[in-house]
C-alpha cells in the first residue's frame, strides 16, 4: 500500500493558491477513477483506491491534510501509523520554489528548503519519504516568497492542469520505483511552459 499525500491549506480562499498545487494533484487523482468517495479521517480528506501498474494493481490511500500546511505531519503520521505504511511508500506532492513553473522532479529524501509542510512531515517521519516536487518558480526575492506561494495561479497558467494530469497518468511508474522514467514521462506529457508567470501580471 502507498500513502499519496498532497500538501495545501484547507478552505476556499486558498484553493487556487500556488501553495495548494499538491491538493490539486490529489483532486485529479481521485477523479481519475478507481477511488471511493472522499471522507474525513486522520485530520484529513482521504480516499481509498487502486492504481493499475504493469505489475498489477497497487492499493492507494490519498491524503489531503486539513491541519494547515505547518502541521501537515500530524495528519501524515496518523495515517501512516494506522496502516503501517513505511516512509519509502509515502509520496508527498508539493509546490517547489526551486523549480521553474511546470518543471517536475521526484526524489527520495532531502531537506525541506523552508517548506513548512515538508518540515512538519520530516519532524514526525524523518527525511526518507518520496517527494513529488511541482515547480511554481521563485518570485526573485526572499521577502516576496510568502505572498507568492499564497497567491493564485494566473488564468493563463494552463500548465497547472496539464502537470497534474501528467503526474496522475504516469503514476504507475512511480509506484514501481521507476523515478527517472516517471519524471521523463511527466515532462513528456506536460512540457514546462516557455514563459515566466511573474511577467504576466506586469
**Model-level pTM?**
0.94
Domain spans, the chain:
2-199
**Contact present, 46 and 38 (Cβ < 8 Å):** yes
What are the pLDDT digits (tens) for 119-165? 999 999 999 999 999 999 999 888 999 999 999 999 889 999 999 99
Residue 163 CA to residue 33 CA, distance in Å, equals 18
**Of 19, 94, 115, 138, which residue is the catalytic one?**
19
C-alpha 30, offset from chain centre? 13
How large is the average pLDDT for residues 52-60? Answer: 94
Overall fold of domain 2-199: Rossmann fold (3.40.50)
Q: Where are the alpha helices (DSSP H) in the chain?
A: 21-31, 72-83, 116-125, 145-149, 159-169, 171-175, 179-189
Answer yes or no: is pLDDT of 176 > 60: yes
Q: Is 19 part of the annotated catalytic residue set?
A: yes
**In the chain, what is the straight-line distance between the N-terminal and C-terminal CA atoms, in Å?**
46
What are the pLDDT digits (tens) for 70-107? 999 999 999 999 999 999 999 999 999 999 999 999 99
| Percent of the chain whose pLDDT exceeds 90 | 86
Coil/strand/helix, residue 94: strand
Amino acid at each position: 500500500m502507498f500513502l499519496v499525500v498532497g500538501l495545501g491549506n484547507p478552505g476556499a480562499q486558498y484553493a487556487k493558491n500556488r501553495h495548494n498545487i499538491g491538493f490539486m494533484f490529489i483532486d485529479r487523482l481521485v477523479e481519475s477513477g478507481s477511488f471511493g468517495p472522499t471522507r474525513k479521517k486522520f485530520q484529513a480528506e482521504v480516499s481509498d483506491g487502486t492504481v493499475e501498474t504493469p505489475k498489477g494493481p497497487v492499493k492507494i490511500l490519498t491524503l489531503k491534510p486539513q491541519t494547515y500546511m505547518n502541521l501537515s505531519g500530524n495528519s501524515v503520521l496518523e495515517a501512516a501509523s494506522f496502516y503501517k505504511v513505511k516512509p519509502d511508500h509515502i509520496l508527498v506532492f508539493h509546490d517547489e520554489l526551486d523549480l521553474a513553473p511546470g518543471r517536475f522532479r521526484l526524489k527520495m529524501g532531502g531537506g525541506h528548503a523552508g517548506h513548512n509542510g515538508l518540515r512538519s512531515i520530516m519532524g514526525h517521519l524523518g527525511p526518507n519519504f518520496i517527494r513529488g516536487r511541482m515547480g511554481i518558480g521563485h518570485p526573485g526575492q526572499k521577502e516576496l516568497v510568502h505572498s507568492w506561494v499564497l497567491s493564485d495561479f494566473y488564468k493563463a497558467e494552463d500548465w497547472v492542469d496539464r502537470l497534474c494530469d501528467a503526474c496522475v497518468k504516469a503514476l504507475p511508474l512511480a509506484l514501481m520505483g521507476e523515478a527517472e522514467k516517471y519524471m521523463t514521462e511527466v515532462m513528456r506529457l506536460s512540457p514546462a511552459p516557455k514563459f515566466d508567470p511573474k511577467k504576466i501580471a506586469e
